[in-house]
Amino acid sequence: MKKDSVTLIDNRTGKQVELDLLKPTCGPMTMDVRSLYKELGIFTYDPGFMATASCWSDITYLDGEKGILEYRGYPIEQLAEGSTYLETCYLLLHGELPSKEEYDEFEHSIKHHTMLHEQLLRFYSGFRRDSHPMAIMVGVVAALSAFYHDDEDIHDPQDRLAAAHRLIAKMPTIAAWSYRYAQGMPFVYPDNSLGFSENFLHMMFSMPTEKYTVDPLLAKALDVILILHADHEQNASTSTVRLAGSSQANPFAVIASGIASLWGPAHGGANEAVIKMLTEINESGKPLSSFIERAKDKNDRFRLMGFGHRVYKNHDPRAKIIREICHEMLAQDKCQNPVHQKLLDTAMELEKVALEDDYFKSRNLYPNVDFYSGIIFLGMGIPLNMFTVLFAVGRTVGWVSQWNEMMADPQSKIGRPRQLYTGAPTRDYVGIKKRS
Ligand code: SDX
């Protein structure tokens, strides 16, 4: 019997199988169940993948019990403190921090892919002005697959890298133009003299009629927020990207599927839902305790948005950093806004009350990345319906890095889960005339 293995015995037949335990760099040992169906004729059952490793990956490591998040081994706290979003993009894509030359070459490539094909501008006008920007982003990113398809070989590492650079570079342009379209304002083209986050704020807020200077403090806060959102292991949208990409589909269509998955309020859509929840609380005039009770009531669909996480059973390390940025930003006189301050005060009070409540403590429900991020976005002048769009801008590098890692693996297969069938047993067809 091998040391690193598990023996399963089927008590119906006494038949047993020895399954290898795969040893990770860090994290739990992982049982290799690939031979289980062949050996014992049984499936594993794990809806929501609560305890299932869907793949191997070298990119991001999470420890939910300790509240640890690392990109390619670097703690998120150190990257947020010392790196930039674009440098973090290089790290996630290539696995190592870049040299100065490597960084300059990468930055040059990204800067020279920020434009969209002029015909895509007309694509926007097909949307109603009040369309949710996430609907526009899903559509426009999927439409990019019509511009980059026939001459793309997803089995060529250089072609994959070109698609990755295009997506990282174009997402801020697509995002900002979704906002400008909704506002009835002219599209602002990227300015290659600006950094990644400065350029996004420039495309969002500058007007052709006057000079616009990006506030460096807001640009820095945005850059850190994008670092914090860049990747997060096999979350729902990344798993969507891997599954869609496993059929060897067009990478732009694949990333559009990730954007669609991120939009849900249980996932990336939570940042928008948090602000709606905090506003409802502030405008209701009711005590916080009434909302805490509602969140605990199984018969009430109300949840504490921004609270809880499938993996973190401790504080989400990103939430701690974002909360600090909230305080710093709202302390700056030009960002002071009594409504935003009230939202932050309510959020902090809610966190305090919830973390003292047995219901939340017993379920290890802590604030997650979405709990405070919306308050920062409001402070930047970014409207509510753009919050998840910004999450998608930050997460694009994680999606393309995970997609690229999967496509580069010669062992990768099309994802095709099985099921526990609970439907009708075999039965004969009866013509409608004979049916009662
Ligand atoms: C993101 O996976 C990732 O990494 C995602 C993400 C990323 O970077 O990609 O981190 C980004 O999506 C963060 C999560 C954003 N979503 C929200 O904030 C929405 C509110 N949170 C919940 O919907 C929930 O916590 C989830 C969806 C985040 C996690 O759900 P799970 O892991 O399936 O947990 P669960 O629903 O089974 O909850 C366990 C218990 C349940 O109660 P019991 O059945 O045990 O009695 O905790 C309760 C839940 O009812 N619970 C909550 C709650 N979250 C869980 N109760 C009140 N309020 C909440 N927010």
* pLDDT computed for residue 137 by the predictor: 97
Distance 436 CA to ligand 1 centre (A): 46
* pLDDT computed for residue 151 by the predictor: 79
**What percent of the chain stands above pLDDT 90?**
93
Pocket test for ligand 1, best of 267, 278, 388 (most atoms within 8 A of CB): 267
Q: Is 305 in the pocket of ligand 1 (CB under 6 A)?
A: yes
Q: What is the pLDDT of residues 157-211, one digit of tens each?
A: 999 999 999 999 999 999 999 999 999 999 999 999 999 999 999 999 999 999 9
Q: Is 278 in the pocket of ligand 1 (CB under 6 A)?
A: no
Stretch among 236-250, 253-267, 332-346 having the lowest mean pLDDT: 332-346
To 10 degrees, what angle do helices 251-262 and 387-408 make? 140
Q: Is 235 in the pocket of ligand 1 (CB under 6 A)?
A: yes
Residue of minimum CA distance from atom 31 in ligand 1: 310
| Whether residue 94 lies in the annotated active site | no
Tell me the mean pLDDT in the region 343-352. Answer: 93
Q: Is 367 in the pocket of ligand 1 (CB under 6 A)?
A: no
368 CA closest ligand 1 atom index: 13
Is pLDDT of 1 > 90?
A: no
229 CA closest ligand 1 atom index: 8
* pLDDT computed for residue 205 by the predictor: 96
Is pLDDT of 257 > 80?
A: yes
Tell me the mean pLDDT in the region 406-435. Answer: 97
Is pLDDT of 51 > 90?
A: yes
Distance 66 CA to ligand 1 centre (A): 18
Contact 128, 111 (CB under 8 A): no
Enter the pTM of the model: 0.96
316 CA closest ligand 1 atom index: 10
Residue 236 pLDDT grade (very low, low, confident, very high; cuts 50, 70, 90)? very high
Q: Is 232 in the pocket of ligand 1 (CB under 6 A)?
A: yes
| Whether residue 229 lies in the annotated active site | no
Distance 20 CA to ligand 1 centre (A): 31
Q: Is 390 in the pocket of ligand 1 (CB under 6 A)?
A: no
Distance 130 CA to ligand 1 centre (A): 30
Is pLDDT of 150 > 90?
A: no
The more confidently predicted of residues 198 and 3 is 198
Q: Is 306 in the pocket of ligand 1 (CB under 6 A)?
A: yes
Residue of minimum CA distance from atom 20 in ligand 1: 305
* pLDDT computed for residue 188 by the predictor: 97
Active-site choice (309, 315, 316, 340): 309
Q: What is the pLDDT of residues 289-339, one digit of tens each?
A: 999 999 999 999 999 999 999 999 999 999 999 999 988 888 887 677 889
Residue 421 pLDDT grade (very low, low, confident, very high; cuts 50, 70, 90)? very high
363 CA closest ligand 1 atom index: 47
Q: Is 310 in the pocket of ligand 1 (CB under 6 A)?
A: yes
303 CA closest ligand 1 atom index: 58
Distance 303 CA to ligand 1 centre (A): 9
What value does the mean pLDDT of the chain take? 95
Q: Is 370 in the pocket of ligand 1 (CB under 6 A)?
A: yes
The residues, any chain, with a CB within 8 Å of residue 407's CB and separated by 6 or more, are 154, 155, 160, 245, 248
Tell me the mean pLDDT in the region 11-17. Answer: 96
Q: Is 307 in the pocket of ligand 1 (CB under 6 A)?
A: yes
Active-site choice (223, 231, 316, 370): 370
